[in-house]
Amino acid sequence: MERNNRSTKLLIGLGAVLAVLLGKLFYVQIINEKYKIDADNNSMTREVIYPPRGVIYDRNGVLLVGNRICYDIMVTPREVTEFDTLALAQALDTTADFVRERMEYYHNYRSRIGWQTLTFIKQVDAETYLRFAEQQYMFPGFKSQARGVREYPFNAGGNLLGYISEVNSEFLEDHPDYRPGDYYGRTGLEAAREDDLRGKTGWHIYLRDSRGRQKSPFKGGEYDVEAVPGKDITTTIDAYLQSYGQQLMNGKKGSVVAIEPSTGEILAMVSSPGIDVSVLADFGKHYSELSQNKHKPLYNRTVSASYPPGSVFKLVNGLVGLQDGVLKPNMYYPCSAGYVYTSSGKKLGCHFHRSPLNMEDAVMMSCNGYFCYVLRTILENPAYNSTEDAYNHWREMVMSFGFGNKLGSDFPSELSGNIPSADFYNKRYRKGHWRFPTIVSLSIGQGEILTTPLQIANLAAIMANRGYYYIPHVVKASERIQIDPKYYEKQYTKVDTLHFPAMVHGMWKAVNQFGDGATATVAYVPGLDICGKTGTAQNPHGKDNSVFICFAPKDDPKIAVAAYIENAGFGASWACPIASLMIEKYLRGEVSEGRKDLEARVMRTKLINQ
């Protein structure tokens, strides 16, 4: 009896397993169409429809990136019969050897390929497509497929716009919603807004007959999917200002960034030397040449380069001193060709000028000695128990200006720069063994301070706004595009707005007060009330870097600009004229007659050999 019970239970168990298997088989074969329309199903063929990628406009509707139609030549190896190799090669403007090599590859991997349709040649032009279309009947298994490729009607710079490339196996592992043959934004705006620009791929599914020939749509097209075009993007960029900046920076290494202070919208973002838009549509062919260029044109200096800010950083130190109450605008400090910071007579040098100076004139003349006194009073403030405590406070204030962290821009590859921590100095010099003289170079934006050109431009916007900024960004909100709400929020520094006017007036004097040692009078444009600050940043790898920030007009500013030119010497030599020309071009649409010679000199001067 016990044996019969065990047999009965075994039979019931086997029956249950069999019922489950039959149920799953019924579901797969009868109910669930998903398995029937799998891409590798031998009885069906899937014809992919690639969506047009969204186009990119500037802030005024100028088309920066569009699409044009090209054609891929596709092949389904299982459908190929004998054909004239030379005739196909001539029709596709290729060689017979190429055709033979591809067909040999398909034969060697025929089991793996199955009934898949593969790309035989990518992106043939319209003339080649028409020649092939006339003869396509001679080549069973071959067909053409339309797809869009990028075109660039306006030269707004490849580093800004970025390029697209075909997905590879590594990318597909991390992005399962893409398929082989898809393209994605690799750099620049193309990468930043990939999710919006890409659209959604569609397809038609057809049945095959017993000989593998394509027949009618599967279930009358019920499982076809329409392609969804990508969304169009409107940027904050002014195309003509961007192009003008590129002309000014031709033959120079560095960056120019322009921001609208009242919104944080980036008006221009020039990295030089950069990628010309003429190579973007077929970037793969040019990648090796560009990657081996000693001037690194693939490197977007506007957000990915870290530099010492130089004397433009004096503005920040002065504002922190004002906020702490250790500096007053009417305080005078002496400068005798520099500041002696050790008992042994070590001096941080300065150019010759009258002395002593008050704060506004120290900004106007970019006096190193004055701002050494300022940082010393900040770090030796009796309100703090130690230099380290005072330094931590100083660092917190400085970082509120957007330094030492990523600003949070919507542009990819942004670096944070560096405002060194007290721990850094504790490890280098031992805790309690460093004082103001140890880090005196921070007074003038040197030492371990590193900033990006975008952060320096943001400082210009902060000065224009008298104490706050909007996070810089390159995409505008539109009907189909949303941007992060953080781009509408004012980011206040930890310095009260009441301390900014005196510092701004010093910047105004630097440009507009002639005959009194002002460092930036080359930027003067009658009627524009440009406010600026020069910087000369020491460079351990060669000649000093030339730096200049400015904004205009002084009241109700419309544009803030930072120019950072590597190995170009004093701030007034190249950065100052370039930034001021950008402002004049933007506000007036053209450069005045009195500055045409300056413009021509900037454009014809090459500081690097390209």
Q: Is residue 2 part of a domain?
A: no
- Can you tell me the distance from the alpha carbon of 344 to that of 381, in angstroms, rounded to the nearest whole number? 24
**Residue the block writes with tokens 């001021």:** 580
DSSP string of 253-319, one letter each residue: -EEEEEEETTTTEEEEEEEES---GGGGGGHHHHHHHHHT-TT-TTS-HHHH--B--GGGGHHHHHH
Label residues 239-277 b or e (16+ Cβ within 10 Å = b): bbbbbbbbebbbbbbbbbbbbbbebbbbbbbbbbbbbbb
Rounded distance, CA 122 to CA 110, Å?
A: 21
Using CB atoms within 10 Å of the CB of residue 430, give its burial: 0 to 12 exposed, 13 to 18 middle, 19+ buried. Answer: exposed
In this structure, the answer to whether residues 267 and 321 fall within a common structural domain is: yes
Q: Based on the domain organization, do 214 and 259 belong to the same domain? A: no
pLDDT at 16: 67
Residues 584 and 318: their CA atoms lie apart, in Å, by 28
467 and 421: one domain?
A: yes
Condensed to tens digits (0 to 9), the pLDDT of residues 408-438 reads 999 999 999 999 999 999 999 999 999 999 9
Same domain, 182 and 276: no
Question: Residue 48: pLDDT band by 50, 70, 90 thresholds?
Answer: confident
In the three-class reduction of DSSP (H, G, I as helix; E, B as strand; rest coil), residue 380 is classed as: coil
Do the Cβ atoms of 491 and 470 come closer than 8 Å? yes
56 & 167 share domain:
yes
Q: What digits encode the pLDDT tens for the residues 340-364?
A: 888 788 889 888 899 999 999 999 9
Neighbouring C-alpha atoms within 13 Å toward the C-beta of 167: 18
Whether residues 85 and 214 fall in one domain:
yes
| Residue 33 lies inside a defined structural domain of this protein | no
Q: Is residue 44 part of a domain?
A: no
Q: Are residues 324 and 204 in the same domain?
A: no
Q: For residues 557 and 241, what is the distance between their CA atoms, to the nearest angstrom?
A: 17
Average pLDDT, the chain: 90
Is residue 273 predicted with pLDDT exceeding 50?
yes
How far is residue 68's CA from residue 55's CA, in Å, rounded to a whole number? 11
Is 36 domain-assigned?
no
The Cα-based distances of 223 to 52, 115, 218, 227 in angstroms read 21, 19, 7, 13
Q: Are residues 220 and 244 in the same domain?
A: no
Please tell me the distance from the alpha carbon of residue 321 to that of residue 409, in angstroms, as a whole number.
29
214 has pLDDT over 80: no
Same domain, 581 and 454: yes
Residue (of 371, 374, 504, 393) closest to 444 by Cα position: 371
Same domain, 120 and 254: no
Q: For position 123, which CATH number holds?
A: 3.90.1310.10
Residue 43 lies in a domain: no
Question: Quick check: 271 and 298 in contact, CB under 8 A?
Answer: no
Residue 485 has pLDDT above 50, yes or no: yes
pLDDT at 41: 55
What pLDDT, on the 0 to 100 scale, is given for residue 538? 81
Q: Under a CB-based contact definition with an 8 Å cutoff, are residues 523 and 545 in contact?
A: no
Mean pLDDT of 485-508: 98
User: Residue 293: inside a domain, yes or no?
Assistant: no
pLDDT band at 50 (very low <50, low <70, confident <90, very high): confident
Residue 56 near residue 235 (C-beta atoms within 8 A): yes
Whether the CB-CB separation of 313 and 535 falls below 8 Å is answered with: yes
Q: In percent, how much of the chain has pLDDT > 70?
A: 91
Q: Is the dihedral of CA 238, 243, 244, 250 positive or negative?
A: positive
Q: How many CB atoms lie within 10 A of CB 568?
A: 25
CATH code of residue 432: 3.40.710.10
- Tell me the torsion sign for CA atoms 88, 91, 92, 94: positive
Q: What is the CB-side half-sphere exposure of residue 433 using CA atoms within 13 A?
A: 7
- Cα separation, 266 vs 306, in Å, equals 19
pLDDT tens for residues 93-148?
Answer: 999 999 999 999 999 998 888 878 888 998 888 899 999 999 999 999 999 988 88
Both tokens assigned to 445: 């934006």
The mean pLDDT of 565-586, rounded to a whole number, is: 92
> Got the DSSP string for 428-494?
HH-TT---GGGGGGGGGT-TT-BB-HHHHHHHHHHHHHTSEEPPPBSB---SS----GGGGS-EE-S
Cα three-residue angle 297-607-544, rounded to 5 degrees: 95
As a whole number of angstroms, the longest Cα–Cα distance in the chain is 119
Cα distances (angstroms) measured from residue 153 to each of 98, 235, 239, 268, 572:
33, 16, 11, 17, 35
d(CA 154, CA 240) in angstroms, rounded, equals: 9
Domain residue limits at 260: 239-284+301-475+488-604
Cα angle value 577/337/360 (rounded, 5°): 55
Distance of alpha carbon 548 from alpha carbon 530, whole angstroms? 12
Asked if residue 490 has pLDDT above 90, the reply is: yes
The sign one gets for the Cα dihedral 391, 319, 496, 397 is negative
Among 234, 259, 275, identify where a domain stops: 234
Residue 561 lies in a domain: yes
Is 119 inside any structural domain?
Answer: yes
Between residues 444 and 47, the one the model is more confident about? 444
Amino acid 539: pLDDT: 76
Q: Are residues 312 and 382 in the same domain?
A: yes
Over residues 178-206, mean pLDDT = 88
Distance CA 161, CA 387 (A): 46
Residue 364 and residue 572: Cα distance in Å, rounded?
A: 12
Asked if residue 39 has pLDDT above 50, the reply is no
Cα angle 464-603-294, degrees, rounded to a multiple of 5: 95
Mean pLDDT, rounded, for 257-263: 98
Same domain, 249 and 314: yes
Q: At residue 210, does pLDDT exceed 60?
A: no
Average pLDDT over residues 187-204: 91
Identity (one letter) of the amino acid at 457?
A: A
Confidence of residue 20 (pLDDT cuts 50, 70, 90): low
DSSP-derived letter for residue 544 is P
**Residue pLDDT, tens place only, 446-472:** 999 999 999 999 999 999 999 999 999
Read off the tokens for 129: 């497509």
- Of 193, 219, 234, the last residue of a domain is 234
For residue 176, say if its preceding peptide bond is cis, omega within 30 degrees of 0: no
Domain count, the chain: 2
- Predicted model pTM: 0.86
Average pLDDT of the segment spanning 318-322: 98
